[in-house]
Amino acid sequence: MTRHAAVLGSPIAHSLSPVLHRAAYAALGLTAWTYDAHEVDEASLPDFLSGLDASWAGLSLTMPLKRAIIPLLDEVTPTARAVEAVNTVLLAPNGSRQGTNTDVPGLVNALAEGGVTDAASAAVLGAGATASSALSALSGIAKAEVEVYIRNHARDTEVHAIADAVGTAVRIRDWTEAAAAFDCELVIGTTPVGATDDLAESVPTAPGTLFDVLYHPWPTPLAAAWADRGGAVLGGLDLLVHQAVLQVELMTGRAPAPLAAMRAAGEAALAGR
């Protein structure tokens, strides 16, 4: 029987997930597996889910569905519940749906691959679902209070609640002070395209590590300025590959997933854009 998986979101045409998952299937010899992208927003999500049959193994979720999916699930893992973000749904043959989050361990694994396993100081730019995952990842990495830079302070209470749930101490600061984040040993940028462009000129002469979760266009002006000044830079492809590795393992039951093949496929796809 053909097994199906897919990534859902809106917009979705830019997603590299099909490239990564298909590369994994090819390397693992899973010729009966398919992985596609579907344009699905919050309003159409319930109908999409109700149309899935027993041939479906799993779903990857991107914006704006990581929180919208939660009420539609039968089970949510503790990590996903704590950060209020599900990026992976595992579909059982009996129709049950389990939500989990591979962004958190994906962030941890990507940072570890980049040589970052602890940080004396850390900052997060943004307050969305990926920022929540970053706060969870930092619970075992940051050695001090994490600075979180936010534009919309209506989200302050939510950020504090998530930080408490994942065991990360935070200090919320206004976005107008965001350049101060660059004094930290580790900075994780989780904002949309263009949001940090005007901060590029504020990168110090000896920066630490920047993890900018965007991957297209790449490098971002901030990432380019960071690298020019000698800082270590990780990008969105690093996160995407590491979280996708975990998704492949969960959906197919095959481990380890072929990280190198998946990364190569992602790099080739980005180079062709």
pLDDT in tens, the chain (273 residues): 899 999 999 999 999 999 999 999 999 999 999 999 999 999 999 999 999 999 999 999 999 999 999 999 999 999 999 999 999 999 999 999 999 999 999 999 999 999 999 999 999 999 988 999 999 999 999 999 999 999 999 999 999 999 999 999 999 999 999 999 999 999 999 999 999 999 999 999 999 999 999 998 899 999 999 999 999 999 999 999 999 999 999 999 999 999 999 999 999 999 988
Q: Which residues of 45-80 are buried (b: 16+ CB within 10 A; e: fewer)?
A: beebbeebeeebbbbbbbbebbbbbeebbeebeebb
202 torsion bin: left (phi>0), alpha (psi -120 to 50), beta (else): alpha
Helix axes 129-138, 103-113, angle to 10 degrees: 60
Q: What is the pLDDT of residue 1?
A: 85
Residue pair 244/24 in contact (Cβ under 8 Å)? The answer is: yes
**66 a catalytic residue:** yes
pTM strictly above 0.85: yes
Residue pair 263/40 in contact (Cβ under 8 Å)? The answer is: no
Partnered with residue 61 across adjacent β-strands are 8
C-alpha angle with apex 62: 57 to 66, nearest 5 degrees? 85
Q: Are strands 75-76 and 97-100 parallel, antiparallel or unpaired?
A: parallel
d(CA 9, CA 21): 16
Residue pair 102/45 in contact (Cβ under 8 Å)? The answer is: no
Q: What is the pLDDT of residue 245?
A: 98
List the domains of the chain with CATH numbers.
3-101+238-271 (3.40.50.10860), 104-234 (3.40.50.720)
Q: What is the pLDDT of residue 272?
A: 87
Catalytic: which of 4, 66, 242, 263? 66
Q: What is the pLDDT of residue 70?
A: 97
